[in-house]
Amino acid sequence: MPKPPLPPEFEAILSKPNPCVIATLKPDGAPITVATWYLWENGRVLVNMDEGRKRVSHLRADPRVSLTVLDGERWYRSIGLHGEVTSLEDDPDLRNIDRIATHYTGRPYSDRTRGRVSAWIDVHTWHKWGFDRG
């Protein structure tokens, strides 16, 4: 698999509010996936989670992650990103989740009652699928 940086055409796709699935590792080593919103910034990925999600404890125990970003214009095309969480921190003022929600919905995040945790992911390798088809 290639290493970053990604070609500009893939950076452009990742910069859009596309559907995404993140995989983390459970304590027994089994992968678990869940749909997520993300932001692509400066070659890194920002995700944000409710403080009560199992994903938070999974990432604290093992920072390795994989993301599959579907090209929203042609959903059978995808970009896989593999790396690790290098920063996992509380988002007490909901600044990061508001940025992500605004990217996807045009509005700040609506649930203001629960704590949030932000994770910055450094991408080590990536792959593409379906882009070589007509």
Domain with 98, as residue range(s), is 8-129
Say which CATH number the domain at 54 has.
2.30.110.10
Instruction: Locate 3 and state its tokens.
Output: 């290493």
Query: What is the structure's pLDDT at 132?
Result: 84
Whether the bond between 5 and the residue before it is cis, its omega within 30 degrees of 0, is yes
- Structural domain includes residue 55: yes
Q: For the whole model, what pTM was predicted?
A: 0.94
Q: Which long-range contacts (CB under 8 A, 24 or more apart) does 55-61 make?
A: 55/22, 55/24, 56/88, 56/117, 58/24, 58/25, 58/26, 58/27, 58/32, 59/24, 59/85, 59/88, 59/119, 60/88, 61/25, 61/27
Residue pLDDT, tens place only, 2-59: 999 999 999 999 999 999 999 999 999 999 999 999 999 999 999 999 999 999 999 9
Query: What is the structure's pLDDT at 134?
Result: 54
Residue pLDDT, tens place only, 71-104: 988 889 999 999 999 999 999 999 999 999 999 9
Structural domains of the chain, count:
1
